[in-house]
Amino acid sequence: MIEMREQAGLDLDEMERRTGVSSSELWKAENGYSRNRLFDYLADYCTALGKTFTVTIDDAEGRR
């Protein structure tokens, strides 16, 4: 997440403005301290970076 944000030239304050999520919560999510809320933020985070967020659920190999 950090790499994508930095490549887009955005800091956490700008991400806060674009996502509505506080910069401290975004920092926690980026650094693995907020795993419970990470999924909640991903769609908005990706949208703020001009990306899409897609979830695919597949069967595990060899399992049905």
Instruction: Give the mean pLDDT per block of 10 residues along the chain (64 residues).
Output: 93 96 92 79 91 85 64
Contact (CB, 8 A) for 10 and 49: yes
First to last CA, the chain: 32
pTM for the full predicted model:
0.68
pLDDT score recorded for residue 64:
53
Domain-located, residue 57: no
The pair of three-digit structure tokens given for residue 52, joined into one six-digit string: 């899409």
Q: Is 61 inside a domain boundary? A: no
Res 16: pLDDT: 97
For residue 7, what are the domain limits?
Answer: 2-48
Number of domains in the chain: 1
Tell me, yes or no, whether 9 lies in a domain. yes
Question: Is residue 40 one of the residues assigned to a domain?
Answer: yes
Q: What is the pLDDT of residue 31?
A: 92
Q: For position 63, what pLDDT does the model report?
A: 59
